[in-house]
Amino acid sequence: NAGVTQTPKFRILKIGQSMTLQCAQDMNHNYMYWYRQDPGMGLKLIYYSVGAGITDKGEVPNGYNVSRSTTEDFPLRLELAAPSQTSVYFCASNWGQGSYEQYFGPGTRLTVT
């Protein structure tokens, strides 16, 4: 199993540009998550999904959108990128329903200038 994969690894955006961060998992997990991690800080939940077709906001959803059309994929969309969105983005997944250990991807380092 590849586990949780994320692309791209690095990206530089100009203010106002848009992009999609890709996340895929091959563990047949029901739950998927997007976090951001600012330097020297813990992870903040952006959005999560408990299954295909279902998404919900986390702590810091503003400026982001997600979709979950399949069990495997959970892309994160940034519209009108702002410098405040410079961060490292992690995707994670787990079974949910009593199994809470989250498996994380390697992260995407995004810089908005």
Partner 1 sequence: GESVGLHLPTLSVQEGDNSIINCAYSNSASDYFIWYKQESGKGPQFIIDIRSNMDKRQGQRVTVLLNKTVKHLSLQIAATQPGDSAVYFCAERGSNTGNQFYFGTGTSLTVIP
Binding site for partner 1 (CB under 8 A): 4, 31, 33, 35, 40-45, 48, 50, 58-59, 90, 92, 94, 96, 100-107
> Least Å distance between CB 33 and partner 1?
8
The Cα-based distances of 37 to 29, 48, 93 in angstroms read 23, 15, 16
Instruction: Tell me the closest approach of the beta carbon of residue 90 to partner 1, in angstroms.
Output: 5
- Which residue number, 24 or 92, has a Cβ lying nearer to partner 1? 92
Q: Smaller CB distance to partner 1: residue 23 or 78?
A: 23
Identify the H or E element spanning 31.
strand 31-37
Cα dist from 64 to 29, 104, 111, whole Å? 22, 19, 15
CB 26, min distance to partner 1, A: 16
Whose Cβ is closer to partner 1: residue 54's or residue 80's? 54
Residue 48 CA to its chain's centroid (Å):
8
Across the strands, what pairs with 24? 5, 73
